[in-house]
Each structure stands twice: as C-alpha cells, then as structure tokens.
Structure 1
Amino acid sequence: MMLLSPAAERNQDDILSVLADILEEQSHKELFGLELGSGTGQHVVHFAQELTYVTWLPSDIQEESRASIRAYIGATKVKRVLEPVHLDASEPWDKWAGLPRSSCDVIVAINLFHVCSFKTAEGVFQGAGEILRKNGFLMTYGPYAMNGIIIPECNEELDRSLRERNPEWGLPDIDVLRQIAFTNGLRMERMIDMPESNKCLVFRKF
C-alpha cells in the first residue's frame, strides 16, 4: 500500500536540487546511493527518476514503510531503485544490510535525526564513515538547533512535542553533529537553509 507524506511532496524538489548540485561533478559516473529511514518511498523514487546515474538502496526499520516503497517502485516502474531493506542505523555498520566498506557514493537521511535516539544519530555517522567512499557525501535534511538555540517558534514547539512523546527525540544540535561527523572521518562542508525552517547539512568523507 502506498503511503503519502504531504511533507515529502512539498520538500522533494528542494532536496533534489541540493542532491543534484553536490553530485553534479560525478554525474558522468554510475553512482550508488543509500537512503536511511526512507519512510513512504516518495523521495527515493523521485530522486531516481531525475538523477538517472544513481542506483538507490532504500531502507527502513518499519515493514509498513518497506511495503509502501515497494508499491511506489511498482507504480512508477522506476528502474534504479533496489528492493528496500531493513536497516537499523543504531546497529554497527557491518549489520547494515551487508553493505561493504567504501561501497556508497552518497547517503541520504531525510527527517530522521529529530525522531531517533542519540545512539541512532551517532550510528548514522559511524556507518557513513565506513561505507562511504573517500569524498562521498552524507546529506541530512530536517529541523535543527544551532548552538543550543532553536528558532523559530514552530521548531521550538516541535522540539517540545517530540520530547513529550519520546524523551530520546528532539531537534539535534548542528555543532554536536559536526563533531560526531568529524570523529568518524566526515567534514561538514555546507549548511543550506531550506523552506519551512529546515536545513540541509552536507558532510564529505575525507
């Protein structure tokens, strides 16, 4: 069954343009991308239709989401999206669906960090540090805190409501993420302001 996320519908073109921009200099090559927490499958199918040089592996811990991804692949007949896999980013990278070291050119995590534990966020960077090729990218998208400050008010409210639902959730601080990334061999190269008070963070494996 195809699930529909209105937010994914709204933000997919903006995120696509950032992706296209960071991958442009490699667009003459065949690239391999992993999406963490693919959710409905709308993003990965949209990216694959536009960036025809990337083969994508979608992943999610929820079976319902994986079923939705399969439904989108079937409905769009998109060629470059593989069968979705179960992947829990809080687990060590060698449990990441059998992906070998240095096998990915790009890893994407959209709206994941504010609805996962700190252990999962750390796991994303540890895994990316292992499975990205040198100069590969990790791109994350979502709402963030900066230097401990959350703006605007709508993001403050979001943070509060998330923490009420699950004390391990909430808007992560960009500075903290940057430090975890660096520890795992990734350097934050770009921070791009996006609509609806979100940001894209682009990390490169060095």
Structure 2
Amino acid sequence: MQAPPAAERNKGPILEVLREYAGSDAHAGPGVLRVLEVGAGSGLHAAHFARALPQTRWQPSDIDPQALRSIAAYVEAMQVPNVLPPILLDVSQGWETWGGTQPATLDLLVSVNMMHIAELRCTEPPDPVPTFLFPQGLFKGAGVLLKPGGVLFTYGPYAVDGRISPQSNVDFDRSLRQSNPAWGLRDTALLRQLAEANGLCLERMVDMPANNKSLIFRKQ
C-alpha cells in the first residue's frame, strides 16, 4: 500500500468539509449516498472517508493500475464494507466509459489534488478558452452523472481570479510548470466557466490548511 504523507495530513480537514455534503444529516438511512472518487491515488482517502461516512456507497477510481492495487489493499486492510472495488477510469474519456455509472445517479463526485497535474490542450479556433483534459472531462462527467442538487467536490491549490498566493503556491506553480508545461495551478475563474457550461455553479470556496482550498460545485 502507498501512504503519501500529504494524504495522511489532509484527510482530517477534507473529511470535515465532506461531512457537510455526505454526513448523516444529508440523507436518511444507511448506504444511500452514491459517491464516485476520481483519481483516488493510494486509496487512503477512500478508506478513511468511507469508514467515517458509513451512509455512503463509495466508488474509488484511478487511471493508474498501481494505484488501483493500492486502493484495493487499503480497503481490504481497513475492512471498509461500503467501498466498492476500484475501477479504471480515464476522465479525459467520455462519461460512458466511467465504470457503467448512469446519468443522474451520483450524489457526490470527489476529486482531490488532481487539477494542477491535469494535462492541458488548447482547443481549435474560434474557441478562445483553453481546454484542460482533466478539468473539462471532470465537469462534463459531473454535469451528466450527478443528480440535480448533487455536488462536485474538488480540493487542492488554486489561482483565484488570476492571482496565486502566497509565495509558496507561486513557487509550487513554477515547479509544476518546469516539470511539465501542461501542469500548474488552475484559476477558479476558468473552473467556474467550465462548471457553468455543464450545468453546475461554484457554490462555495473553503480555505484549507497548507494554502489549499475546497471548491464546492452544485448541479443545477
């Protein structure tokens, strides 16, 4: 099993925000909230969140076969009955390939620390807006698969309306772009635009530890 230090550190703060959207007051009865986690990585978050939120039916996914093995190992080791077996999922592909998830069936779609390592591909003219393969695929999928009123929850470092702060995030953005020019902190203004194009709105931004934010997008 993989055990990323960052995932260990941020699991508690993220869970506190998630409880507001998948807590015991969100729906009545056990196991009725359907959750898809995109890019579940090691599986530490999936196991931790699902165990703390027994009323959820948690579906972890990732594009990396090594991550899928780690997720399965975490779920088995922690014995979390409400986590489904992990599925291979490439967000840049259409929602039809997302493990058979049907339209308007998800209550919550979760993506943690993925936006800034998403590939960027510029669209063909006349569209002036750059297309990020991961974000655009994520919002397209969310627009189809979330129930009305469902939530897309994303977490990570972001630029806010063209500004990156503090300096540590500026440095992090620079290091990402040096590693891969397609990477970097994504601007909330662009994410808001992608969300609105797919029937979602940015409902809330929550300041988190280590200069991160939780972004809450609601399906209209």
1:128, 1:173 → 2: CA distance?
19
Q: Which residue of 1 aligns with 2:89?
A: 87
Q: Deviations over 1:44-90 (max 9, x none)?
A: 10011110100111000001100000100110111011110110111
Structure 2 partner of 1:187: 201
Check whether the contact 2:22–2:53 (CA below 8 A) recurs between aligned residues: no
Instruction: Considering fraction of residues, name the structure with more strand.
Output: 2
Measure how far apart 1:28 and its partner are: 1.5
For structure 2, the residue ranges without an aligned partner over 5 or more in a row are 120-131
For structure 1, the 5+ residue unaligned runs are none
Identify which of 59, 63, 66 aligns with 2:65. 63
Deviations along 1:75-120, whole A, 9 cap, x unmatched?
0111011110110111111111111111110000000000112111
- Number of residue pairs matched? 205
The answer to whether residue 36 in structure 2 is matched with residue 22 in structure 1 is no
SS of 1:97's equivalent?
coil
Once the two structures are TM-superposed, the CA of residue 27 in structure 1 deviates from its matched residue by: 3.4
The residue aligned with 1:8 is: 7
Quick one: percent identity of the two aligned structures?
46
The match for 1:119 among 120, 133, 141 is 133
Please tell me the residue identity of whatever aligns with 1:86.
Answer: L
Aligned to 2:155, which of 141, 149, 153? 141
CA displacement, residues 123-157 of structure 1 (integer Å, 9 cap, x when unaligned): 10000000000100000000000121111111111
Task: Tell me which amino acid in the other structure corresponds to 1:104.
Answer: L
Q: What secondary structure sits across from 1:81 in the alignment?
A: coil
Distance (Å, rounded) in 2 between the aligned partners of 1:22 and 1:34: 13
CA displacement 1:12-40 (0-9 Å, x = unmatched): 01110101012344231411100000000
How far apart in 1 are the matches of 2:169 and 2:141? 28
DSSP 3-state at the match of 2:85: coil
Residue of 141, 149, 152 corresponding to 2:166: 152
Following the alignment from structure 1 to structure 2, what is the Cα–Cα distance between the partners of residues 4 and 124? 25
Alignment partner, residue 45 of structure 2: 43
Instruction: Give the whole-Å Cα distance in 1 for the aligned partners of 2:139 and 2:6.
Output: 25
TM-score normalized by structure 1? Answer: 0.97
Q: TM-score, with normalisation over the residues of structure 2?
A: 0.91
1:99 maps to which of 88, 98, 101: 101
CA distance in 2: counterparts of 1:58 and 1:175, whole angstroms: 28
